[in-house]
Structure 1
Amino acid sequence: MGLNNNDIFKKLRVAHKLRDEDIVNICALVDFKISKSELNAMFRSEDHPKYMECGDQMLRNFLNGLIVHLRGPMPPKKQ
């Protein structure tokens, strides 16, 4: 099968060498709150009883926060 959101999230975490605190801070950049325990549940294997699926909203907010983290905030538009 293809990749699901959890697989994409795991691969991004490894590629950017992010720790749990880093991910929490990145999500906070776009006013999205997530706890370390929720993150750990997303990184567990699918057969684990406390496994949690990474939803589209979570992945979208993380990606938006990652953009701000890597590029900086978007400059204001000139009128």
Structure 2
Amino acid sequence: MTNNDILKKLRVALKLTNDDIVDIMKLVDFQVSKSELGALFRKEDHPKYMECGDQFLRNFLNGLIIYKRGPRPEKEALKKPTKKPYSSKGKGPYTN
């Protein structure tokens, strides 16, 4: 299965239009035109067929994540709060 096949199958499964794909690619700062997309979705024996590269597919998948889930939260929000150590003054969980 080629990258073009993967892209075609995702397009059909998610009911994406060419405009949607252009918007998805803009989310990851990757510029693509509708005519370039048309070349990716052509049959392999067509003279204007273009092979979908790994970079294009990777950027599309990263953009699709943002498109479906929303932007990634900032790193500060991802940090777990640190627990304070128990003091030795009898206030810990193992005191009577």
Larger radius of gyration: 2
**Structure with the largest fraction of helix:** 1
Number of aligned positions between the proteins: 77
Identical amino acids, percent of aligned pairs: 70
For 1:1-58, what per-residue CA distance to the aligned partner results, in whole angstroms no more than 9, with x for missing partners? Answer: xx00000000000010000000000000000000000000000000000000000000
- Tell me the residue number matched to 2:93: none
Tell me which stretches of 4 or more aligned residues in structure 1 moved more than 4 Å. none
Higher relative contact order (CA 8 A, sep 6+): 1
How large is the Cα RMSD of the aligned pairs? 0.7
1:53 aligns with one of 47, 51, 54: 51
What is the TM-score normalised by the length of structure 1? 0.95
What is the TM-score normalised by the length of structure 2? 0.79
Which consecutive unaligned segments of at least 5 residues does structure 2 have? 80-96
Which consecutive unaligned segments of at least 5 residues does structure 1 have? none
Superposed, which structure 2 residues align to 1:1-79 within 5 Å?
3-78=1-76
